[in-house]
Amino acid sequence: MSKLKVVSEKSLTNNSRIVGLLAQLEKISTEPTESDTARYVTSKILHLAQSQEKTRREMTAKGSTGMEVLLSTLENTKDLQTTLNILSILVELVSAGGGRRASFLVAKGGSQILLQLLMNASKESPPNEELMVQIHSILAKTGPKDKKFGVKARINGALNITLNLVKQNLQNHRLVLPCLQLLRVYSANSVNSVSLGKNGVVELMFKIVGPFSKKNSGLMKVALDTLAALLKSKTNARRAVDRGYVQVLLTIYVDWHRHDNRHRNMLVRKGILQSLKSVTNIKLGRKAFIDANGMKILYNTSQECLAVRTLDPLVNISSLIMRKCFPKNRLPLPTIKSSFHFQLPVIPATGPVAQLYSLPPEVDDVVDESDDNDDIDLEAETETENEDDLDQNFKNDDIETDINKLKPQQEPGRTIEELKMYEHLFPELVDDFQDYDLISREPKPLVFEGKVRGPIVVPTAGEEAAGNSGNLRQGVVMKENGSPLGDEGDKKPAFMDVAKEDIKENDRTLQQQLAPGFTAGMKKDYSLPLAVVTCTKACPHVAACGNVLFDGRAVQLGKLCCTSVETEDDEDTESMSSVEQASVEVSDGPTLHDSDLYIEIVKNTKSVPEYSEVAYPDYFGHIPPPFKEPILERPYGVQRTKIAQDIERLIHQSDIIDRVVYDLDNPNYTIPEEGDILKFNSKFESGNLRKVVQVRKNEYDLILNSDINSNHYHQWFYFEVSGMRPGVAYRFNIINCEKSNSQFNYGMQPLMYSVQEALNARPWWTRVGTDICYYKNHFSRSSVATGGQKGKSYYTITFTVNFPHKDDVCYFAYHYPYTYSTLQMHLQKLESAHNPQQIYFRKDVLCETLSGNSCPLVTITAMPESNYYEHICQFRNRPYVFLSARVHPGETNASWVMKGTLEYLMSNNPTAQSLRECYIFKIVPMLNPDGVINGNHRCSLSGEDLNRQWQSPNPDLHPTIYHAKGLLQYLAAVKRLPLVYCDYHGHSRKKNVFMYGCSIKETVWHTNNNAASCDVVEDVGYRTLPKILSHIAPAFCMSSCSFVVEKSKESTARVVVWREIGVQRSYTMESTLCGCDQGKYKGLQIGTRELEEMGAKFCVGLLRLKRLTSPLEYSMPSSLLDFENDLIESSCKVTSPTTYVLDEDEPRFLEEVDYSAESNDELDIEFAENADYEPSTQEEVLSDSESSRTYLP
């Protein structure tokens, strides 16, 4: 106890001592005659500040007047030693306390006093060296903390004082060092930078910067930092180029690179590169860099640095400079407009499509007149005085702030007479069911209408088909008249009948095109003893593959369908996608895939290119693979390796083959016959690949087709590859993507479907590819495509694939394909297999699309118990749920979720029956059939994003939106407003599944107008469904949901249905294209099984919603509606779910580690504007390389 008492007494003494000294100093600072005392007191305070952290802490503590006393004394004293003492105290306080104490000094007015002191000291001739060193040292530390420092320094005339000191004392390194540090701070202000440049500061820096020397490397480092900051000004950069300094910097860099064998001067080398990086921000600088052979120099030096991990910052900056200086190339296309043209019935008056149609034919829309707009950006000589505004927290101007606009205002939009055209699509509201054979509560066994196939037979023994499928032909070829597979194959293209049918020698059917080994194997299988295998076990975990091709010959599928799976209790047992009772025996439930039917449907599908082929995966069907596919771990340095290989194209041009091997724009193009060249094809439904150029022996550049009647939106791809050899690593680069980042940088892989694997009973899409990354490339977008902006680059998706089989036919896709014909097949199978006494199912045509395809509308509910009045009333009074999907064709995951919803609603699961008895479902499963058919990524044939047309859809250009909105308007007019509206989407930049909804309160809350948000009274029921889903659906993530309404989303389905139609629970449900980072599927890429499960879980959520919102059983668990808590919790995470890239429905890109597509794997390490300028060398090296080594979690 006594020891503790002594310590506290001692600290009390010290504290009292510093307080006393400061009080004494305050008293004497007003007495000019007391200079000796002031000198004594300040030296005592300096001693305490140097020796005790407690003293430093007390002097800068909140409420302490110590800083004011020191600054006041500094301002008033005429004594040099007192001034030096106080400056030394301030240096001690600021050096040890980091940024907070420097900010404290600035807040007390320190900058102005110190700048005035600098002015006064400079008037002496010669100025006192010690005084100048101290003033510059402290200003260099505090300046970055003062947002107005650049302006203050300029007004006080400090710029030239510091500059002249350097000019006159070049050999005095002790004085020059802090002066250079302060010049660096001045230069952060662009006007100061230009002013210093005019006074010769750039030339001055090159007197200090020079070749390798063991002396004064610290001074070199600071001079280079200052130079890099100065050269950010375009005026200074041009001055440096004019004087030939780009060549000088490269020469100096090579010299340091050669001599710094032990890498002790990495920071000097980095400083030279930072200066090169600044000067190459202008076009002249890039040209000078190329002319000085900079590409080769930096490429060679960076390759030599690769072996040493601590030199990574040098490799990264070199890579950035080389990418920036890589000459911008035009895409090798005749036009960036789509290869396919569709004449619109009406041309919009304004907008991108109108501009496209108004372009004169001779305009070259592929490349800009200049790759830059920097040469016209002359330096602004005027300053924005309110620089501090730039540092305010991110404020999203897109959030709607007008409460009147936010309030839902039901607008009929169309008259009752006009809306009567939709009456025929709602027969359930008037049908009295007198003609129906209704049996109360005793549903008949499920009847499988159409062809009754009986049980599928599976051979009990026999070898699999031979692995070598020889020369597999790409696609199932259909004759021009639309009949599939030649003369004999019209009726049955499936291989089931190979043994039965005579195959003519000259018959160009699929059977003949497949290898003899395969057809022989099939015959052999069918000659074996057969046994009927029936599986009575329900398989809720696996989509009913229904693939007659394989159910009939592969035992593996039978086993897969009978594998046990985790199930949840109560209504969650229906955890997955397919109809609950689906099994190997067809009569137990519908198998949704039917190859024969698919071919029949394809014949009636109208595409702009008039496709005559069918892709094998769509013909065979897909079942989820029986294994998990983890999110890919990103290899260290993969992006910069790929970029280095791209740079090699410029340096070693003779190594590049540059041969076109596929070209949609050239119909007369002949496919090269050489054996080692891959062959490509995309001429089938939903296909997208425009051109392929062979770059190196096993490397290909791929160019995607833009959406029809558009000149951009390249992201969706679906194409076929054949002619491969196993054991060869093929690199594919898709070079004209437009989004600024992608989940391909965060573990997502593209999908591949192997026909050989499918023939071996593995008919599934799998995630493939290694060395995957997504980065900005050297191809430039036309200003026509970017709305007038010049010099915008495209992005590359690159991936490497090793094919498992020789001469296979493989397909690659951005995500699991789901064609329009697939949807029609699934709907037809669901309709033919349902029990009409139990399930009310209608498939209507909502409207025809622009190219004449029908847009299906599905109605699902439970049949009334009987045709008694009470039962009919209950039937008619069920609330509506309105669902839609696939407005964006590239978001195929939305269709898989919809498939899960449809199959669940049609299943004989008791929970599904309860759900049907609760609601009437109106479903538009594909809002954009034309876009899907023609391989678009985002638009319809009108070249417009249909999810931006809901406010005022044009019946001629946007028929599906016009009539879908009409249905909702009709329901509102007859007072049958849907309880829930949900539009299913896919998301390319976030993980998990989540929802966007609409809330006035949350929108106002996010504008930080708390008073206004408190005044808003709002039913928080819009949060109930997402909350329920976060409890029951493993892929769903509540923290990713947002209920903010943005201006840019005012014409989307979600906002219009909420605001105009008046549906409170109006949502967009977004499913990731990549995978999950939480819950049961954490670390896994998403597959069709999980997507279909989400669709089923959505249904279960609706049943729970019904139970929670029913007036009879209304008891809302408090945990479901922690509204305020959730709001507060999410406010720190949610910026705004808005992106400015092509006006997408996607939030800003949020990931734990930002692998920028603009730079390398690593963060672009800039000199922080507010950093101290003499970092400990070891610390900086580590921080740079460590930050670059962060792996994907």
The residues assigned a catalytic role are 1070
Please report, as a single letter, which amino acid is at residue 324: K
> Looking up tokens 């771990």, which residue turns up?
633
Beta bridge partners of 841: 860
Q: Are 771 and 740 in contact (CB under 8 A)?
A: no
CA distance 882 to 860: 11
Helices (H), 483-572: 510-513, 516-526, 548-551, 555-561
Please report, as a single letter, which amino acid is at residue 878: R
Peptide bond preceding 126 in cis form (omega within 30 of 0) = yes
Please report, as a single letter, which amino acid is at residue 652: H
Q: How many C-beta atoms surround the C-beta of residue 1010 within 10 A?
A: 10
CA distance 978 to 884: 13
Q: Please, what is the Cα angle at 136 between 133 and 139, to 5 degrees? A: 145
CA distance 1123 to 1017: 13
CA distance 92 to 1000: 52
The DSSP 8-state label assigned to residue 938 in this structure reads: S
Strands 691-696, 699-703: pairing is antiparallel
Half-sphere exposure of residue 804, counting CA atoms within 13 Å on the CB side?
14
Distance of alpha carbon 610 from its chain centroid, rounded?
A: 33
Q: 3-state DSSP helix/strand/coil percent for the chain, to nearest 5?
A: 45, 10, 45
DSSP 765-796: -EE--EEEEEEEEEEE--TTTTTT--SPEEEE
> 413: which 2 tokens?
């939009």
Nearest residue to 640 via CA among 962, 375, 306, 392: 306
CA distance 751 to 443: 42
Q: What are phi and psi of 699, to 5 degrees?
A: -130, 135
- 800: part of which helix (H) or strand (E)? strand 793-802
SS3 143: helix
Residues near 530 by beta carbon (within 8 Å), at least 6 away in sequence: 457, 459, 460
CA distance 605 to 934: 11
Nearest residue to 967 via CA among 1043, 1040, 884: 884
Residues near 129 by beta carbon (within 8 Å), at least 6 away in sequence: 172, 174, 175
The DSSP 8-state label assigned to residue 631 in this structure reads: P
Q: Are 206 and 191 in contact (CB under 8 A)?
A: no
Q: What are phi and psi of 15, to 5 degrees?
A: -60, -45
CA distances from 171 to 175, 177, 219, 241 (A): 9, 11, 11, 27
CA distance 788 to 785: 8
